[in-house]
Amino acid sequence: MDMMRWSALVLLAAIGVLSPSAAFADPIVGQVDDFEDGTTQGWTVNFAGMAPPPADALPTVVSTGGPGGAADSFLMLTSLGGNGPGSRLSVGNLDPRWTGDYLAAGVRAITMDVNNFGSTELALRLAFEDPTAGPPSNVAFSTDALIVPTGSGWMTVTFLIGPGDLTAGLGDVDAALTGATLIRLYHSPDPNFPNPVSPIPAVVAQLGIDNIAVVPEPASLVLTVTGLIGLCSSIRRRRSS
């Protein structure tokens, strides 16, 4: 293995080692949900206490056709429109990798690759809820939706999730980010928080998602990479001596 490739692998591995871990109930900086293991990696539409959606509306791993090409898996989200379970485009994750204190972890953005396979333009937002059991006390959602046009092909989108990028639907934005127990991706052109008066709209849609990743704030990233470059240089010197 050439030294450049080896150093890059050391950097990636070290980012994972030095990033907050699930043991501290913080989202893991550097993690990527790429669905290559054939599972939904915790992304679900079927939460406890909710009526199950039809099988056609369940998130499904597709083993080919992701942004990386024929051998790249991705997650397909489907909503059926109409009324009842499965009518809305919304998916959430309760896994410890995606919950906890986003502010303490230094997370300021979430990126993902998306592909609108349907015939309706989609307005995507993220929401953070605390807690998930019963009515949430604090909810923060994207102030500005990211638009994914029909026939978009694969494109990378970045959701900024600093306190200034989110709107409080309930309670306080900072509280939702520091005690998040659920992260949700959903479609809604309405800038208001989904509620009985202004709910997430029903839509017939298919959205592919892949490579969902948390991104640290720039200052944290610079410090981490600078330290890791020094670590790699030290290792190279030892290997050369």
Written as six digits, the tokens of 32 are: 């990527």
Does residue 12 surpass a pLDDT of 80? no
Q: How far is CA 17 from CA 31, 125, 235, in A?
A: 11, 30, 16
**Per the structure, how many domains does the chain have?**
1
Report helix, strand or coil for 140: strand
Q: Which domain holds residue 71?
A: 22-218
Q: What's the pLDDT score for residue 30? A: 83
Does residue 105 surpass a pLDDT of 90? yes
Inside any domain, residue 13: no
Query: Residue range 42-54: average pLDDT?
Result: 84
Inside any domain, residue 93: yes
- Angle of the 218-240 helix axis to the 3-18 helix axis, nearest 10: 130
Q: In what helix (H) or strand (E) does residue 43 lie, and over which residues does it extend?
A: strand 43-44
DSSP symbol at 95:
-
Inside any domain, residue 192: yes
Does residue 220 surpass a pLDDT of 80? no
Inside any domain, residue 224: no
Inside any domain, residue 49: yes
Q: What's the pLDDT score for residue 16? A: 40
Inside any domain, residue 95: yes
Inside any domain, residue 228: no
Mean pLDDT of the chain: 82
Does residue 228 surpass a pLDDT of 70? no
Inside any domain, residue 149: yes
| Residue carrying the six token digits 């990798």 | 97
Q: What's the pLDDT score for residue 224? A: 43
Give the separation between CA 193 and CA 141, rounded to whole angstroms: 7
Give the separation between CA 12 and CA 3, rounded to whole angstroms: 14
Looking at per-residue pLDDT, the higher value among 55 and 19 belongs to 55
Does residue 40 surpass a pLDDT of 70? yes
- Highest average pLDDT, of 43-52, 88-97, 226-235, comes from 88-97
Query: Residue range 120-133: average pLDDT?
Result: 90
How many CA atoms, within 13 angstroms, populate the side-chain half-sphere of residue 113? Answer: 19
Q: What is the CATH classification number for the domain harbouring 113?
A: 2.60.120.260
Give the separation between CA 40 and CA 28, rounded to whole angstroms: 17
- Please state the pTM of the whole predicted model: 0.80
Tell me the percentage of the chain whose pLDDT exceeds 70: 76
What's the first-to-final CA gap in the chain, in angstroms?
18
Written as six digits, the tokens of 19 are: 């990033």
